């Protein structure tokens, strides 16, 4: 028994020594590549492109990956870029993902690399800005690609670098993003064993990483309700079948799905109406009212319940008012729950603590925002974390929100992201 324990102790010491040596190499290489990561980020930020239009962005990324000697594929899901690093040694296939698209937002700050670009969105010319940090995601993944290529001899298996277009949603009438990449086989040939992704966060201090196991970001299901009534003069409402009053009752009833039908102590859920249109004069009760809204859920049971309850309420309320209603669910796109595989999350917790420091590795509550990284996680175990981008001298209250003209994250936050992507890969390979 003593010999067995002694043997296990030596194995543990050897693993710890290997991890320490690997961490020293990653730290040194991350310091070395950081100026390039900042340079790449500034370039992407200054020249953003909208979803499914990331042509120059993709070319810039592909050219760099080719310069590393990687096997590069372009045109995946229209503008996506995928590169493979083969260590030549047997082992798992680890995928790392970054998103590439900007948003139709006009930048309002005094950065030397601020965007003045314009693009076309739904037939209109619009300003374009990286208002969510995808510029940093690309730069961080390129930095990790450089380090992992330099450490090729230490790898066991393959790394697949996925630069994904259209995370913010494809233009009207088009498909895009992670769902299309999966359909085109991005997780195959070679088959991916696990995937890692991260998101910069403007409200989290530089140097910190936040994570959660299980349902981490919500499924998103937009919907549309069209209520058909009978038009009449506003002075004679009894001659109408009023779709406006029907819509009002429907909106109030829909709110009870979450407040009265779901067990909210388990997970949060949201059903929101975001837009309602009907009529054009104060004295005319219209024929029709149209509403659009969104559903957000953090577990499968809640999602399935809302899918059953919403049609039931819409139909019953319309019938009770003598109206007819058409429900389209989902409306145009639908993202599953961003679900961090619990076993993978637990296995990588030590990696996060070693990389950022235990005091900077924060267990966070789930959020009702959505991410199409979830399509990858439906196919293979995945882990998605948040990396701090808020300058330490700025309060959370004063930090601009994502998707706003003032959005800002500090370059200093990216080095931790580079190291996390690298260490996730190295540690997963070591464990498998």
Quick check: helix, strand or coil at residue 56?
A: helix
Query: Could you tell me where the beta strands, DSSP code E, fall in 117-188?
Result: 118-121, 124-127, 158-164
Q: Please identify which residue in the block is written with the tokens 């979803």.
A: 51
**R_g over Cα of the chain:** 25
Q: Please identify which residue in the block is written with the tokens 């229209």.
A: 78
Nearest-10 crossing angle of helices 243-256, 300-320: 150
CA distance readout (Å), 27 to 1, 24, 114, 362: 39, 5, 30, 21
Active-site amino acid positions? 101, 167
Quote the tokens at residue 365. 């509550």
Torsion over CA: 313, 317, 318, 319 (sign): positive
Nearest to 210 by CA among 383, 420, 337, 388: 388
Q: CA angle at residue 255 from 252 to 260, to 5 degrees?
A: 120
Rounded Cα–Cα distance for residues 409 and 49 (Å): 19
Answer left, alpha or beta for residue 322, where phi above 0 means left and psi between -120 and 50 means alpha: left
What is the helix (H) or strand (E) element at residue 325, kind and residue range?
Answer: strand 324-328
How many angstroms from the chain centroid is the CA of residue 399? Answer: 20
Nearest to 167 by CA among 205, 211, 124, 198: 198
Rounded Cα–Cα distance for residues 353 and 351 (Å): 5
DSSP 350: H
Rounded Cα–Cα distance for residues 255 and 273 (Å): 9
């Amino acid at each position: 028994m003593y010999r067995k324990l002694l043997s296990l102790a030596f194995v543990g010491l050897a693993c710890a020594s290997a991890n320490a040596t690997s961490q020293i190499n990653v730290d040194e290489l991350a310091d070395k590549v950081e100026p390039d990561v900042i340079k790449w980020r500034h370039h992407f930020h200054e020249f953003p492109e909208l979803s499914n239009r990331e042509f120059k962005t993709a070319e810039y990324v592909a050219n760099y990956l080719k310069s590393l000697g990687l096997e590069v594929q372009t045109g995946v899901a229209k503008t996506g870029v995928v590169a493979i690093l083969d260590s030549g040694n047997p082992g798992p296939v680890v995928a790392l993902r970054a998103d590439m698209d900007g948003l139709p937002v006009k930048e309002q700050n005094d950065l030397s690399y601020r965007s003045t670009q314009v693009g076309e969105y739904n037939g209109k010319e619009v300003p374009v800005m990286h208002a969510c940090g995808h510029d940093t995601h690309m730069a961080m993944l390129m930095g990790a690609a450089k380090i992992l290529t330099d450490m090729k001899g230490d790898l066991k298996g393959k790394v697949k670098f996925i630069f994904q277009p259209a995370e913010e949603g494809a233009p009207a009438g088009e498909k895009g993003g992670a769902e299309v990449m999966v359909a085109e086989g991005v997780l195959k040939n070679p088959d991916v064993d696990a995937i890692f992704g991260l998101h910069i966060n403007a409200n989290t201090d530089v140097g910190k990483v936040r994570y959660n196991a299980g349902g981490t970001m919500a499924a998103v299901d937009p919907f549309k309700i069209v209520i058909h009534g009978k038009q009449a003069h506003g002075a004679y409402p009894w001659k109408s079948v009023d779709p406006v009053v029907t819509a009002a009752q429907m909106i109030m009833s829909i709110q009870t799905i979450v407040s009265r039908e779901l067990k909210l102590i388990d997970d949060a859920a949201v059903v929101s109406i975001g837009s309602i249109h009907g009529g054009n004069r104060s004295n005319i009760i219209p024929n029709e009212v149209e509403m659009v809204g969104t559903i957000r859920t953090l577990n499968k049971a809640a999602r399935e319940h809302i899918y059953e309850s919403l049609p039931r309420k819409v139909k019953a309320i319309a019938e009770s008012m003598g109206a007819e209603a058409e429900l389209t669910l989902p409306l145009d796109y639908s993202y599953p729950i961003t679900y961090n595989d619990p076993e993978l999350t637990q296995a990588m917790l030590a990696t996060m603590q070693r990389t950022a420091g235990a005091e900077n590795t924060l267990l966070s509550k789930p959020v009702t925002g959505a991410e199409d990284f979830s399509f990858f996680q439906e196919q293979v175990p995945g882990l998605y974390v948040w990396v701090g981008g808020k300058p330490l001298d700025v309060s959370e209250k004063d930090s601009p929100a994502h998707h706003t003209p003032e959005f800002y994250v500090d370059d200093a936050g990216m080095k931790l992201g580079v190291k996390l992507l690298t260490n996730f890969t190295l540690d997963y390979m070591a464990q498998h």
